Structure 1
């Protein structure tokens, strides 16, 4: 591993922060923390922590000796000074004389002694940093170090690798007891330059930021060099089918299998992130991959990301792909059953009241293909995949020098179900559409963009499909929540299929279709040429059918139901003069929505329509408004507000109707009118 310290960069950061009143100590602490946090083989997504002992002034001007330590929720790779809250050091040191200190009291002690009361909670390992006397302390979960400590004989192996330069601390769950034990190990031999924590990671320390950082990189390199020199031959490879199915074949099946059933056709869905590389495939093609996966996580911190460890599937044979859905479901059921047993057996050991987390895997390994990370959001799914890559590296290293034996699941349980994590989970309320994927056609137009934004605001990831790729991308950016835009001619069945395949590739599947795209042609029906009418049918009917077919194809593979929503326009039931080329295919689309409700209701797929009228959009342009108002002999304002409420209806109003249908779990074959009130267009 390369040492990235650069004197020039360090001094520049010190100077930049000095202008903002940040001390040299804290600026250098930020600098090396970012160096460590930018290397995934050391820390991932909030893991690891660093500290420095310095001085700080409180709100009334009193100066204190403090420990600036990484705060909860901060990523080391992008940390700022406020991500290292200052805690009064004297109170922390006094705590060492206590015989015991609960996690809740430890957090209260740390918060009570913050210089800035608005700071984030200091790290759970704050006391360990405090009890070590050095000015700078670094802690990471290096995969190379984990390869050494994830062994049955980890203490002897650590002595062989590091000699007397590193202290060894037997596994203890992070918190007060670990802090005291680590300090005792250091004081037994104050010449050590760091501590190796069994099944956990590494601490290094120094009198300045550079020394602590240099030591971290040095001892990680010692571990990497040892693995490189003493690595044994790789294990036997599994026999793969002659023709493998693809990730696209598997993704909807797998995503449906890991959805959490809530009864009565309701599901908490997951987003899936597929990840592959030569290194990933080479490792998971091992004949022992299921064994490795069953042993657990490489460091306990990963349990909040991938639970008790990955799930391994058999390689998917393309010739038997029709049977593979049941193979996936049987493996998921087995994983969930084992997880429930893990929870029940460990939860019953004391009287603490806990809420079991959902039992679904968060990382799935597929020989020959790669791996899928699962999460309630795309961010969580990607984190699971990132963790999976580092899990592979740690296990590969452990197997190279010995036998991968991580922390037992019984010892893992107290950390996964740490009381403070439980409190966080209880307060974390998902949004109504969290975990769901919506595909919106005509997504860059007024109604489509408003709908995509509203759905994203309610937790969904949006796939915005539009003929103009640039506008689709911009609409996705405005929608937020990792939405994507795709340029697509929806009248081309091949391009429509590709858009849905892209949704599967990025998110794992599709749960909601908003088939919204359309365009209008004017003229008396008897005077229209066939080409114009056929062109309108291609866009205003057949494109809706194509979108629905693709959505249903994916929804049936997922097996978790879904929602088809069609923008059919009031023209479907209340035609306007010279608007037949638009209204006739829209009428067909309205009945198309009902046919889907009829044919696929038994599969939990709902189908509804929204009849909107007079919405300013790419279809109803200023020129069209002038034309239509003229045809009716009214002013433009009267035309746009010509309804029972006397108010103009907006794209946001239509978006609200689509959202209503997405959430109305017991409504199908319905038509909702969004026009401010038009008795002639009322269906009932």
Structure 2
């Protein structure tokens, strides 16, 4: 582990923060917190915490001794001074005299003594930081330290590795009891430079920021060196199939299997993030991988990210890929069954009212390929993958020096179902399309871009497909929610397939297709050049068929249903003069949508159309508006608002219709008209 302290950088940060009224100690606290937070082998996604003890002035000018400690929700890698809320030390120190303090009262005590009431909640380990006398205290979940403490009899090993310089604290769930126990260990030997917390991590401390940081890096290096010097020979590897299936081939199957059913054909879907490297594959190919996964998480904090541990499945045989979906489903079902038993057994031990979390795995290990992180959002899925990499590193180290023996699942349960975490989860309400992936063709146009933005605002991750890759990327960026842009000529089947493959590679699958791309050509039908009509059919009909085929291919593998949404246009039911080149293939597309409803309804795949008219877009350009209004003998304004409501219809209105169909999970074979009212185009 490299020591990243740099005098010049540290002093520059101190100078920069001084201009903002931030003192030297707090500035250096921010500096070393970022150094620790930027190393995944030490800190991951909200884990770890740091503190410093300084003086601060409240809103009425009174000065207090305070503890500035990492606040809930802050990432140590990018922390700012406000991410270290100041808590009055006096009340915190008095708490040590108490015999007990509930988690809720502990949080209330800490919030009641904040200098700034608007600050985030201080870390759950605030009292531990307060009870230690040092000015600076650092805490991480170093994977090297976990390799030492994740042993059946870790105490003598800790003594052997670190000697008398580090105190040993038996496992206790974070909170008041752990704070008191850690302080007692320190009081028994005030010469120690840090504390090793069994099955948990490491604390180091010092009189200044650099001393605490240097000690952290030093003792992590001691652990790393011990693991490297005492490593046992590698375990045997599993026998892999002669031909492995690709990640893309199994991703939809796996994503479908981990979708939590809500009954009556409804699912809480998840996004999947595939991760691989030589190191990942080498470890996952171990003959013991299923056993390692079943033992649990390397530190209890990870239960919030990957539940009781990973799921290990067999390597996928490309020559037997037709059978692999059932293999995955059986393993996921077994994981879920075990999780329910884990919950029911431990929940019955007391009278606390708890709500069981969904029992689906959040990390799947696939020998020969890599691993898939699962989450309700891409961010959560990537976090699960990040955690997986650190889990592998910790387990590899633990097995190198002994036998991986993490915290028991019975002891893990109180943390996973901690009242504070339950409250946090209860307040995190998903959006209507959270966990779903929508692919939109013609995605950079007016209707496509509006649809991508609206779906992303409602929780979906959008794959914006357009002929212009730069415009697709720009529309995806504006849509937000980690949406992506893909450049493709959708009249080319190979490029269409590649666009869907990209959706699978990034998100694990597709749940909604908005087949929107189109272009219009004018001319009387009997005078059209045959080449032009065929060109229009390629884009306005066959591209829709190609998109739907690809979507259905993935949806069937997922087994969780889906939605096919077609932009068919008013021309499909009410053709306009000299517009046959556009209207005829659009009419075919309308009936295509109904055919898909007939053929795939039994699989939970819904197929609906949106019949829109006169929407300003790349298709209906200013020149086209002038031409069409002239053909009808009306002004451009009259043409655009020539409907029963007398209002121009916008791309956002069409997007709302697509959203309606995405959410209407009991509607199929429908056509929704978005034209402000046109009796001639009304279906009957």
- Regarding TM over 0.5, the answer is yes
CA offset at residue 431 of structure 1? Answer: 0.2
Q: Can you list the C-alpha shifts for 1:536-565, whole angstroms capped at 9, x where unaligned?
A: 000000000000000000000000000000
Instruction: Give the equivalent residue in structure 1 for 2:134.
Output: 134
CA distance in 1, matches of 2:427, 2:471: 37
Q: Can you list the C-alpha shifts for 1:9-63, whole angstroms capped at 9, x where unaligned?
A: 0010001001011111110000000000000000000000000000000000000
CA offset at residue 429 of structure 1? Answer: 0.8
CA distance in 2, matches of 1:239, 1:59: 67
Q: Can you list the C-alpha shifts for 1:73-130, whole angstroms capped at 9, x where unaligned?
A: 0000000000000000010000000000000000000000000000000000000000
Instruction: Give the equivalent residue in structure 2 for 1:647.
Output: 647
CA distance in 2, matches of 1:3, 1:630: 74
CA offset at residue 153 of structure 1? Answer: 1.4
CA offset at residue 428 of structure 1? Answer: 1.2
CA offset at residue 680 of structure 1? Answer: 0.0
SS in structure 1 of the partner of residue 172 of structure 2: coil
CA distance in 1, matches of 2:11, 2:89: 27
CA offset at residue 584 of structure 1? Answer: 0.1
CA distance in 2, matches of 1:234, 1:308: 25
Unaligned runs of 5+ in 1: none
Q: Can you list the C-alpha shifts for 1:599-626, whole angstroms capped at 9, x where unaligned?
A: 0000000000000000000000000000
CA offset at residue 454 of structure 1? Answer: 0.1
CA offset at residue 238 of structure 1? Answer: 0.6
CA distance in 2, matches of 1:340, 1:140: 31
CA offset at residue 574 of structure 1? Answer: 0.3
Q: TM-score, normalised by structure 1?
A: 1.00
Q: Can you list the C-alpha shifts for 1:236-294, whole angstroms capped at 9, x where unaligned?
A: 11111111111001100000000010111100000000000000000000000000000
Q: Can you list the C-alpha shifts for 1:576-601, whole angstroms capped at 9, x where unaligned?
A: 00000000000000000000000000
SS in structure 1 of the partner of residue 372 of structure 2: strand
Structure 1 segments (4+ residues) deviating >2 Å = none
CA distance in 2, matches of 1:215, 1:477: 43
SS in structure 2 of the partner of residue 203 of structure 1: strand
CA offset at residue 424 of structure 1? Answer: 1.2
Instruction: Give the equivalent residue in structure 2 for 1:143.
Output: 143
CA distance in 1, matches of 2:359, 2:52: 39
CA distance in 2, matches of 1:613, 1:196: 68
CA offset at residue 217 of structure 1? Answer: 0.1
SS in structure 1 of the partner of residue 564 of structure 2: strand
CA distance in 2, matches of 1:197, 1:100: 21
Instruction: Give the 5 Å matches for 1:475-486.
Output: 475-486=475-486
Q: Can you list the C-alpha shifts for 1:159-212, whole angstroms capped at 9, x where unaligned?
A: 000000000000000000000000000010000000000000000000000000
SS in structure 2 of the partner of residue 195 of structure 1: strand
Q: Can you list the C-alpha shifts for 1:367-399, whole angstroms capped at 9, x where unaligned?
A: 000000000000000000000000000000000
SS in structure 1 of the partner of residue 304 of structure 2: helix
Aligned residues: 684
Instruction: Give the equivalent residue in structure 2 for 1:270.
Output: 270
CA offset at residue 494 of structure 1? Answer: 0.2
SS in structure 1 of the partner of residue 152 of structure 2: coil
CA offset at residue 426 of structure 1? Answer: 1.2
CA offset at residue 427 of structure 1? Answer: 1.4
CA distance in 1, matches of 2:236, 2:665: 50
Q: TM-score, normalised by structure 2?
A: 1.00
CA distance in 2, matches of 1:264, 1:591: 28
CA offset at residue 425 of structure 1? Answer: 1.2
CA distance in 2, matches of 1:487, 1:306: 34
CA distance in 2, matches of 1:47, 1:389: 15
CA distance in 2, matches of 1:219, 1:682: 75
Instruction: Give the equivalent residue in structure 2 for 1:305.
Output: 305
CA offset at residue 466 of structure 1? Answer: 0.1
CA distance in 1, matches of 2:669, 2:374: 32
CA distance in 1, matches of 2:240, 2:440: 38
CA offset at residue 506 of structure 1? Answer: 0.2
CA distance in 2, matches of 1:426, 1:201: 28
CA offset at residue 3 of structure 1? Answer: 0.2
CA offset at residue 442 of structure 1? Answer: 0.1
CA distance in 2, matches of 1:161, 1:235: 24
CA distance in 2, matches of 1:246, 1:539: 31
Instruction: Give the equivalent residue in structure 2 for 1:288.
Output: 288
CA offset at residue 319 of structure 1? Answer: 1.0
**Is the aligned partner of 1:235 residue 2:235?**
yes
CA distance in 2, matches of 1:264, 1:163: 60
